[in-house]
Amino acid sequence: MSQPSYDYADTTVIVTGGSSGIGRAIARRFGAAGATVVNADVRRAPKDPDQERPTDELVDDLGGTGQYVETDVAEVSEIETVVEAAREFGGVDVMVNNAAVFVEGNLLDLDPADFDRLYAVNARGVFYGTQAAALDMLDRGVEGCILNTASISADLAQFDHVQYDATKGAVKMITRGAALELADHGIRVNAVAPGHVATEISEGWSEGAPREVRAGEVIKHVPLGRAATPDDVAGAYLFLASDDAGYVTGETLWVDGGLQVF
């Protein structure tokens, strides 16, 4: 099936963590739809071993306008800086809080520093990214859209993932609470919850192998039989930012290959 056609000309989109993986795919899709895309990441170069060109250059090639602003979302001041930088292009219309880190570890021996880093990026980064974008939209009188990257981990506990699962559960509730508070201002807030995605941080996952989630001795298979690619997930963000989703807010859209069906 062909991809739906979207027109995001005259739209400025910030994508945190846009240098690689899902964020890179989101940025490319918005760029192909004519948007100005600001990649807010700690590094410009992609982590993917088979990719060399930075995301902002790809956005330019696809017909959009690409920009890069070095950003660590664990630092509130840096989130505010990238939102202010978007003012050069009229201000943020769509904020995609996508940046995240992953640390695996058992509940009984997880290092506090790892826990704090997970929360600083995955939860606090989303909270203050939402806040900064909303304040910019309110200041400009824009009824914008905020999209957060949650995960199946927001609802599905996985072995040695409790600290990561907790951060994604926080993202889901930040989304719901922010949607409630910002509805009167016409700002919609939604989340996308990917399942297992074959990216540079998903070590050991290739696109062709059978897919399953293991929690101790319990194995749960992915009904569609494979992990997602970043492109499988990116389209959900364009839909949620579009007029077709104009009456959708506070929702989490699961893009998981049917993992939660059973």
Active site residues: 164
Q: For CA atoms 225, 231, 235, 237, give the dihedral sign.
A: positive
Beta bridge partners of 147: 96, 190
DSSP string, 28-95: HHHHHTT-EEEEEES-SS---TT--S-HHHHHHHTTSEEEEEE--TTSHHHHHHHHHHGGGGT--SEE
Residue (of 171, 191, 146) closest to 13 by Cα position: 146
Q: How many CA atoms lie within 13 A of 27 on its CB side?
A: 32
CA atoms of 124 and 154, how far apart (whole Å): 15
Tokens 């009167």 locate to 184
What's the CA dihedral at 26, 195, 259, 192 to 10 degrees?
-50
Which stretches of the chain are DSSP H helices? 21-32, 55-61, 76-85, 112-118, 125-140, 162-182, 230-241
